[in-house]
């Protein structure tokens, strides 16, 4: 069965500093990995995905994520945080080819202080 862990409930970072939001996963077969962001009272928005290829994936709003197969991790990163990045971030995993079910992590709340 698939599972996703986001070990931090909350991440605090100062504006302009780099940020990392952690995610580890478990899935049989090749994983499809995703990051989504949710702003207050809104639906989730797709940020980026890893399916295959380069381990470093670039996405929307300057975010990127690194797929690490040996550590089964897919951490979200941004070199310089903005106050407007403050939101709830979800990591998600789907079993590769033929899989339909995407499992979401519990979410990590990011606070960026000015």
Partner 1 sequence: DTAVSQTPKYLVTQMGNDKSIKCEQNLGHDTMYWYKQDSKKFLKIMFSYNNKELIINETVPNRFSPKSPDKAHLNLHINSLELGDSAVYFCASSQESGYTFGSGTRLTVV
Binding site for partner 1 (CB under 8 A): 32, 34, 36, 38, 42-46, 49, 51, 88, 90, 94, 100-104, 106-107
- Residue closer to partner 1 by CB (options 46, 61) is 46
Contact 25/3 with Cβ under 8 angstroms?
yes
Q: How far is the CB of 16 from partner 1 (least distance, A)?
A: 27
Is the C-alpha dihedral spanning 111, 94, 52, 30 positive or negative? Answer: positive
Q: How far is the CB of 111 from partner 1 (least distance, A)?
A: 15
């Amino acid at each position: 069965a698939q599972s996703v862990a986001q070990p931090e409930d909350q991440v605090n970072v100062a504006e302009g500093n780099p940020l990392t939001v952690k995610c580890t996963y478990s899935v049989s077969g090749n994983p499809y990995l995703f990051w989504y962001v949710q702003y207050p009272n809104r639906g989730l928005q797709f940020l980026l995905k890893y399916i295959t290829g380069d381990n470093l994936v670039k996405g929307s709003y300057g975010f990127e994520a690194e797929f690490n197969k040996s550590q089964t991790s897919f951490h979200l990163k941004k070199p310089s945080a903005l106050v407007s990045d403050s939101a709830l971030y979800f990591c998600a995993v789907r079993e590769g080819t033929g899989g339909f079910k995407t499992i979401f992590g519990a979410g990590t709340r990011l606070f960026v202080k000015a």
